[in-house]
Structure 1
Amino acid sequence: MSPQPRLLLASSSPYRRQLLERLRLPFDCASPDIDESPLPGEPPESLAVRLAESKAEALAGDYPQHLIIGSDQVAVTGDGHRLEKPGHFDVAREQLGRCSGQSVRFLTGLCLLDARTGSAWSVCEPYQVHFRNLTGDEIDRYLTLEEPFDCAGSFRMEGLGIALFRHMEGSDPNSLIGLPLIALVDLLRDRGIDPLGAT
């Protein structure tokens, strides 16, 4: 019987790394270098999956014996506006102002690529967040306290960002942070890797 391949998380995100650590499986991390620009007319679901697949594929040559996990997230407001990582306070303030009282869909693409064979399995996990009506002072205070400038949508759900919401809908809240663990466990179990030890 051939040994199980080692896992590789194709991400530099500390949040995804922390999530994957919850499964208590050994894994490596590497940061892929890809162009994350959307294609003309590309639907957000397709973009999330394509970017997840691209991240995994970008590292396959350097890690030919690994199962590579790629994940990417696209956030879209109810009127179809795509939210980026804000980078700084002013953009984050504008984003949260746009989200105030609105619903935002977070679409997390997940890809598991077997670099040994080139086989890949992909899913898109949706999650919907309904924001409270936020005042300018509340937004400013939140951004000052948490500085979520590296997060799509300008918040961290695992921190004080939970106070921004009045309701959430979805099958896996981990997908909102950036790595849908329930779907990932399903994909890993199908490949013979079980966090609970069954093979």
Structure 2
Amino acid sequence: MKNLVLASTSPYRRELLARLGLPFSVANPRTDESALPGEAPEALALRLSAAKARAVAEQYPDALIIGSDQVATVDGRIYGKPGNHERAVAQLRELSGKTVNFFTGLCLYNASTGVSQVRGVPTLVTFRTLTDSEIDNYLQREPAYNCAGSAKSEGLGIALLAGMQGDDPNALVGLPLIALCDMLRNQGVAIL
């Protein structure tokens, strides 16, 4: 089997990939994540997932490299990682009662052949109508400052949600494993 490399420093993506039981390495893709002028959110996630995978190809010329990127949007507006408490509070106030599209771009890049498989996996998440007290209590208990949308669905953040729709619950955490398994099989990797 070819070496498998996760082009991400995200502990969430690392944990998800480990579930497949395949040996893998982790590399920091050091990619500029800025949107291009006029770039649609979904196009941004797809472009960045591929850019992240290709960014580490020189270090791993014979590997299968996984790149992933996620954007959270409501009405075309992107909600990134808040980075601190104040911005997380503001995000959750804005997302209260709304449905957010968490769109995850995924790329599996075969560095030796130059072939990329790229897919987008949407997950629609509806937030409950939240009080300021609920927002503050949540962020005190689970400071989700490094999560787009300021909530960890795999943790206490699930209490902020009214529902979700999507094909893969792992996509919301940042790595769509169903699509990835299909991509790996396309490259001859036996998972089971």
TM-score (norm 1): 0.95
Checking the alignment, whether the CA contact within 8 Å between 1:8 and 1:67 is kept in structure 2 is yes
1:10 CA drift (Å): 0.2
Aligned length: 192
2:20 is the alignment partner of 1:26 = no
1:157 counterpart = 2:114? no
Equivalence for 1:53: 50
Quote the offset at 1:66 in angstroms: 0.6
SS in structure 1 at match of 2:159:
helix
Asked if residue 63 in structure 1 is aligned to residue 67 in structure 2, the reply is no
Distance in structure 2 (CA, Å) of the matches to 1:17 and 1:26:
11
Amino acid at match of 1:191: Q
**For 1:10-21, what aligned pairs fall within 5 Å after superposition?**
10-21=7-18
**1:115 match:** 111
Q: 8 Å contact 1:185–1:194 — kept in the other structure?
A: no
What fraction of aligned residue pairs are identical, expressed as a percent? 56
Structure 1 gap segments, 5+ residues each: none
The separation in 1 between residues aligned to 2:76 and 2:40, in whole angstroms, is 10
Secondary structure of the 1:46 match is helix
1:194 positional shift: 2.2
- Of 96, 103, 115, which residue of structure 1 is paired with 2:92? 96
* Conservation of the 8 A alpha-carbon contact between 1:52 and 1:71: yes
Q: Which residue of 1 aligns with 2:167?
A: 171
After TM superposition, the runs of 4+ consecutive aligned structure 1 residues lying more than 3 A away are: none
SS of match in other structure, 2:92 = helix
- 1:194 corresponds in structure 2 to 190
Q: Is the 8 A contact 1:156 1:162 kept in 2?
A: yes
Q: Deviations over 1:138-173 (max 9, x none)?
A: 000000100100111101111001101111000001
8 Å contact 1:6–1:27 — kept in the other structure? yes
Kindly provide the amino acid, as one letter, of the partner of residue 14 in structure 1: P
Write the deviation string for residues 8-42 of structure 1: whole angstroms up to 9, x where unpaired. 00000000000000000010001111110001111
| Structure 2: runs of 5 or more not aligned | none
- 1:128 alignment counterpart: 124
Question: Residue 72 of structure 1 contacts residue 108 of structure 1 at CA under 8 Å; is this kept in 2?
Answer: yes
Q: Secondary structure at the match of 2:56?
A: helix
1:65 deviation in Å? 1.0
Aligned to 1:42: 39
Structure 2: which amino acid aligns with 1:56?
Answer: A
1:90, 1:188 → 2: CA distance? Answer: 40
Aligned residues of 2:41 and 2:76 also touching (Cα < 8 A): no
Which residue of 2 is the match for residue 147 of structure 1? 143
Query: What secondary structure sits across from 1:110 in the alignment?
Result: strand
Post-superposition Cα deviations, 1:157-192, rounded to whole Å, max 9, x if no partner, equal 110011011110000010000000000000001111
**Which TM-score applies when normalising by structure 2?**
0.99
